[in-house]
Structure 1
């Protein structure tokens, strides 16, 4: 079968199409015939050898897949790599049947990024109608879903997006205020001004000056959930800085929930049901061919994309 193989760390051109052996069935797993593979920043970090888990090359990236089983069932699944391929091995506990009311494109958008957005908001931050929340990269895969889920929970949403086109998209999803993130100048002050005071909750995935501004815009007893660092500029927070205002900074990595009974089943059911009702509308971004995976990574890193970016693995 065809798959993307990374032989060594590098830029987008490290993604090469190769003929590799089909995955062998093993106990407790499904072999999924992949039609769509989700593209995420985790794949970029894997390619660069900057991932949270150790990387052994050669490796095939891709942690979420949409496809069918041998019996014809439509499924989505979370894998530990191997998704950029015509077939992928996925654990049964991390595979879900897709309702007829949910399209293939919607389903793959919900799997990794939807689960991440849901658990960031409900498991880590535990937001409710009393909260005001800052959502970065609000036109991206996680961001577009987080904006909608936060509004469904009744929260007041301050969103960050770069450029007027992305800002209009995010406003259409329900954000109360959208701030231009193309410049970090006075960002903390702009967040506080837009919210008429510090925010009680925040997501963060940029690092560097955006991390600093987000923490500064957080109210006393505020909660901040960190789920990425796309700039590569990781910050350390002195304990006394947190203690002075009783602020909480939590890290989040979705694979830590893979072994938690019912955690992902609950979130997937909620996401599927909300999408089927039309209350949650995943934003579908560009789809690239397997042979054009390098362009998918380049466009994602260049922030040229909106919504869920996917790779079509079928010939």
Structure 2
């Protein structure tokens, strides 16, 4: 079958279209004929071996697919350790979720990682309360575009979006943000407070890193929370000093999606069910960021790393 493989770690240039043997499902697993593959920022880290979970070579990247099982069920699935950039993929049965009618491939894949991430950040990390102000960095991206919508649906008082272009800022406003500011602002602390009517902010969702994180922490109100879930800028923020958290009664929290499966109860399933319901009710939608043929996975990674993309990127292994 056709797949995209990594045999040496590096940037987009290491993604190589190849022919490989079809995977064989074991007990408790399901074989999926892949119709679409979701492309995530984590995939770029996986290809260069800078992800939280170490990669092993040779590697077929990709952690999420939507398609048909051998018995005809339409499912969206999380894959353990990759394997998604291919015509067929194997998933643990418990990680394959049936897709309801009215939820297309784009929305199904967007909710699996980005949607669930936004849900968990707002519900479990930030504990959003009605009326609170929410800053969403990278608000036109996969997670950000969903987080903006969820924050509004769940009663945020003011949603402040940051994005790098006027086009992206306009999209964030269209999705429900109350104000959108330039992510390249020289002083993000002042920019966020000004966008919040001169007041400090309650919640920040951050996947940028570097000075963006540092200056966002400085913008938090007493009992404000910053939820950190990525480092797209590939720059480390400054170490957080506990005395500063004490002095300002603020919280900095991190989130890595795999840890959700260690929680009691079916938190991930609950998140997906609610997200799919919101889509069916017309209260939530994914943003299409572009669809690429499987052989063009390198171009998809280049686009994602440039931070010039909007919404969700997909690969089509049938092309």
Same fold judged by TM-score > 0.5? yes
Query: Does 2:240 match 1:230?
Result: no
Higher deviation after alignment, 36-45 or 25-34: 25-34
Query: Does 2:163 match 1:161?
Result: yes
**Distance across 1 between alignment mates of 2:306 and 2:91:** 30
Structure 2 partner of 1:269: 273
Aligned runs of 1:1-315 on 2, under 5 Å? 1-80=1-80, 81-155=82-156, 156-181=158-183, 183-196=184-197, 197-235=199-237, 236-260=239-263, 261-315=265-319
**Distance across 1 between alignment mates of 2:315 and 2:137:** 24
Please report how far the alpha carbon of residue 184 of structure 1 lies from its aligned counterpart in structure 2 after TM superposition: 3.5
**Distance across 2 between alignment mates of 1:286 and 1:276:** 22
**Distance across 2 between alignment mates of 1:283 and 1:72:** 27
Work out whether residues 289 and 312 of structure 1, in 8 Å CA contact, stay in contact via their aligned partners in 2: yes
**Distance across 2 between alignment mates of 1:231 and 1:167:** 19
**Distance across 2 between alignment mates of 1:133 and 1:254:** 21
**Distance across 1 between alignment mates of 2:236 and 2:79:** 27
TM-score (norm 2): 0.96
Please report how far the alpha carbon of residue 301 of structure 1 lies from its aligned counterpart in structure 2 after TM superposition: 0.9
Higher deviation after alignment, 90-99 or 137-146: 90-99
Q: Deviations over 1:233-282 (max 9, x none)?
A: 12221111111111111110001112433111100100110001110011
**Distance across 2 between alignment mates of 1:93 and 1:263:** 13
Please report how far the alpha carbon of residue 103 of structure 1 lies from its aligned counterpart in structure 2 after TM superposition: 0.8
**Distance across 2 between alignment mates of 1:57 and 1:72:** 32
Q: Secondary structure in 1 aligned to 2:119?
A: helix
**Distance across 1 between alignment mates of 2:10 and 2:58:** 12
Please report how far the alpha carbon of residue 74 of structure 1 lies from its aligned counterpart in structure 2 after TM superposition: 1.0
Please report how far the alpha carbon of residue 128 of structure 1 lies from its aligned counterpart in structure 2 after TM superposition: 2.0
**Distance across 2 between alignment mates of 1:68 and 1:285:** 23
How many positions carry a matched residue from both structures? 314
Q: Deviations over 1:197-218 (max 9, x none)?
A: 1111111111111011110111
Please report how far the alpha carbon of residue 163 of structure 1 lies from its aligned counterpart in structure 2 after TM superposition: 1.0
Please report how far the alpha carbon of residue 47 of structure 1 lies from its aligned counterpart in structure 2 after TM superposition: 1.1
Please report how far the alpha carbon of residue 139 of structure 1 lies from its aligned counterpart in structure 2 after TM superposition: 0.4
